[in-house]
Amino acid sequence: MWGALGEPADSYYAVRPECADDVPRTRFKIKPGKTLSARKWQAAFSPDGRLDIGKTLGRIQRGGIHPSIRGEVWEFLLGCYDPESTFDERDQIRQHRRVQYARWKNECREIFPVIGSGKYITAPVITDDGQPIQDPLVLLETIPGADANNADMVNKLLPRGPFDKKVIQWLLTLHQIGLDVIRTDRTLVFYEKQENLSKLWDILSVYAWIDTDVGYGQGMSDLCSPMIILLEDEADAFWCFERLMRRLRGNFRCTENSVGVETQLGYLASVTQVIDPKLHHHFETLGGGNYVFAFRMLMVLFRREFSFCDSLYLWEMMWALEYDPDLFSMYEEPGSKTAKAIGSNKGKPKSTRQCGKYERENMKLKSADAPLPISVFLVASVLKDKSSKLLHEARGLDDVVKILNDMTGNLDAKKACIGALKLHKKYLKKAKKT
């Protein structure tokens, strides 16, 4: 738990004193020689800035990332940058993305000037049929910290009409984002500052504006919050979150009849049926064969089951295990400015040394077999670990939920990842036979 300079890992994410007794302590230990340090990270770059990602993946898998460099390493793990890019190429891409984010944010601010004002809203500002609520007093109660003595300022923050369908839909989500923002990681000192709450609200609001297919869904604030804390520049935090959402947005895509995460719950059912048929049968007997009790774990990647520090540790181990060097080229449109900034290294065969351990296993599969995300095997690993307790003590779905909730703060991130890898191998062997 202590770093090279004697600092506890938790000290990077200070908890409010009044919450200290209720927040689980981290199990993440900064281990010299195992944890990826700033010195080892910098040594992995060539003089012009090309990253030997293979060198860093193994270290992350063994000991995580030192909190002081976590944000910049995550940008590579999530595919914001190609490891084969140079310092200059990444600077070009970073500047281009910052300009693009500012452009989108300005579009949002022109419709609703609270965006970018350092404030946020927690109640609706338009009616369901798109009529602005034109009462400054109502708006005053809606915007935390608004100045009652400055009516002109409050009037200027009213939404600008008339609105088309897209704008109405977007405006109707903004207060829901605000309500989630003030509940997100509220035990952390970081979110005592309104400017940080506002930054989180701005990023989620802009994302909801550009991703009209998904918009905003509950749980996104939990996924975005670490980006705000780890990356100082708001635009950089936005793009890190945007890359994470490319992996997870299917979970948030809803229709009238289903929620996107149901697909992963279906995978989880299939995996458990193969590796622990007795437990799967027990869930079916209890009426839980759809595995809805695991909804939250998959939706927000164990943010509620681990301490804040440990959930970051878990995420980076997952991303290192799943890492695919083609991430950047998959994310960038051919011919786009960011793709043109890097182009000389495309077309090379993928090196297994540059891939994460989990991805290397998936590369052995036939191309027709779509690999499942490691998160499915992580949940399966947790269920298998609690299999005996679930089989003997769960007499209904409420008992299942209680047993899983009791794990909060008591899970070991590294052990869960090792368990997921073992189950993945076991599943592939058994699935082939059946």
Q: Looking at the DSSP assignment, which residues form a beta bridge with residue 269?
A: none
In this predicted model, which residue has the larger pLDDT, 256 or 317? 317
Structure confidence at residue 7 (pLDDT): 54
> With bands split at pLDDT 50, 70 and 90, how would you rate the model's confidence at 207?
very high
Cα 72 from chain centroid (whole Å): 15
Q: Residue 188 pLDDT > 50, yes or no?
A: yes
In this predicted model, which residue has the larger pLDDT, 323 or 152? 323
Structure confidence at residue 227 (pLDDT): 97
Cα–Cα–Cα angle for 156, 162, 165, nearest 5°? Answer: 120
Q: Residue 308 pLDDT > 60, yes or no?
A: yes
Structure confidence at residue 159 (pLDDT): 74
Q: Looking at the DSSP assignment, which residues form a beta bridge with residue 15?
A: 188
Structure confidence at residue 327 (pLDDT): 75
Q: Residue 369 pLDDT > 80, yes or no?
A: no
Q: Residue 367 pLDDT > 60, yes or no?
A: no
Alpha carbon dihedral 246, 250, 253, 254, in 10-degree steps, equals: -170
pTM surpassing 0.75? yes
> With bands split at pLDDT 50, 70 and 90, how would you rate the model's confidence at 270?
very high
Q: Residue 67 pLDDT > 70, yes or no?
A: yes
Structure confidence at residue 40 (pLDDT): 95
Tokens of 76: 């590579």
Q: Looking at the DSSP assignment, which residues form a beta bridge with residue 45?
A: 51
> With bands split at pLDDT 50, 70 and 90, how would you rate the model's confidence at 2?
very low
CB 158 within 8 A of CB 132: yes
Give the chain's end-to-end CA distance (angstroms, integer).
44
> With bands split at pLDDT 50, 70 and 90, how would you rate the model's confidence at 5?
very low
Beta strands in 50-122 (DSSP E): none
The stretch 345-353 carries a mean pLDDT of 61
Give the DSSP per-residue string, 18-42: GGGGGSPPP-----TTTSB-HHHHH
Cα–Cα distance measured from residue 38 to residue 377, given in angstroms and rounded to the nearest whole number: 31
Q: Which of 78, 81, 85 is nearest to 316 (CA)?
A: 78
> With bands split at pLDDT 50, 70 and 90, how would you rate the model's confidence at 3?
very low
Structure confidence at residue 1 (pLDDT): 39
> With bands split at pLDDT 50, 70 and 90, how would you rate the model's confidence at 21?
confident
The stretch 364-391 carries a mean pLDDT of 84
Q: Which amino acid is at 240?
A: C
CB 153 within 8 A of CB 186: no
The stretch 359-379 carries a mean pLDDT of 80
How confident is the model over 80-139, as pLDDT tens digits?
999 999 999 999 999 999 999 999 999 999 999 899 989 898 888 888 888 877 666 666
Q: Residue 46 pLDDT > 60, yes or no?
A: yes
Q: Which amino acid is at 249?
A: R
Structure confidence at residue 429 (pLDDT): 83
The stretch 343-369 carries a mean pLDDT of 70
> With bands split at pLDDT 50, 70 and 90, how would you rate the model's confidence at 375?
very high
Q: Residue 149 pLDDT > 80, yes or no?
A: no
Q: What is the mean pLDDT of the chain?
A: 86
Q: Residue 349 pLDDT > 90, yes or no?
A: no
Structure confidence at residue 160 (pLDDT): 67
Q: Residue 251 pLDDT > 70, yes or no?
A: yes
Q: How many CA atoms lie within 13 A of 19 on its CB side?
A: 15
> With bands split at pLDDT 50, 70 and 90, how would you rate the model's confidence at 155?
low
Structure confidence at residue 320 (pLDDT): 95
Q: Which of 254, 263, 290 is nearest to 370 (CA)?
A: 263
> With bands split at pLDDT 50, 70 and 90, how would you rate the model's confidence at 337?
low
